Amino acid sequence: MDVIKVKNDRTSTYDIDEIFLKRWSPRSFSEKQVPEETLLALFEAAHWAPSAFNFQPWRFIVAKTAEERAAFHSFINEFNLSWCKSAPVLTLILSKKLNEDNFVYSHSFDTGAAWGFLALQAAKKGLITHPMTGFDFERAREVLEIPEEYHIEALVAIGYQDEKEKLPKALQEREQPNSRQPLESLIFNGKFGEQREN
Domain extent listing, the chain: 41-155
In a 3-state reduction of DSSP, which class is residue 155? strand
* pLDDT for residue 9 is more than 90: no
Shortest CA distance to 89 belongs to which of 122, 114, 111? 122
CATH number belonging to domain 41-155: 3.40.109.10
Above 80 in pLDDT, residue 3? no
Q: What percent of the chain has pLDDT over 70?
A: 97
Give 1's pLDDT tier (boundaries 50, 70, 90): very low
Cα–Cα distance measured from residue 161 to residue 146, given in angstroms and rounded to the nearest whole number: 30
Sign of the torsion angle spanned by Cα atoms 107, 75, 141, 58: negative
Indicate whether 64 pLDDT > 70. Answer: yes
Which of the four pLDDT bands, split at 50, 70 and 90, describes residue 193? Answer: confident
Residue 195 pLDDT exceeds 90: no
* Measured distance CA(92)–CA(145) in Å, rounded: 12
pLDDT tens, residue by residue, 138-158: 999 999 999 999 999 999 999
- Return mean pLDDT, the chain: 94
- The mean per-residue pLDDT over the stretch 173-183 comes to 91
Confidence of residue 170 (pLDDT cuts 50, 70, 90): confident
Q: Which residues contact 196 (CB under 8 A, 6 or more apart)?
A: 184, 187, 188, 189
For residues 96 and 59, the answer to whether their CB atoms sit within 8 Å is yes
Please give the average per-residue pLDDT across 113-128, as a whole number: 98
Q: Count CB atoms within 10 A of the CB of residue 78.
A: 7
Q: How confident is the model at residue 2 (pLDDT cuts 50, 70, 90)?
A: low
pLDDT at position 196 over 80 = no
Q: What's the pLDDT at 165? A: 93
Give the pLDDT of residue 11: 92
Angle between helices 36-46 and 107-124 (to 10 degrees): 140
Phi-psi label, residue 61: left if phi above 0, alpha if psi -120 to 50, beta otherwise: beta
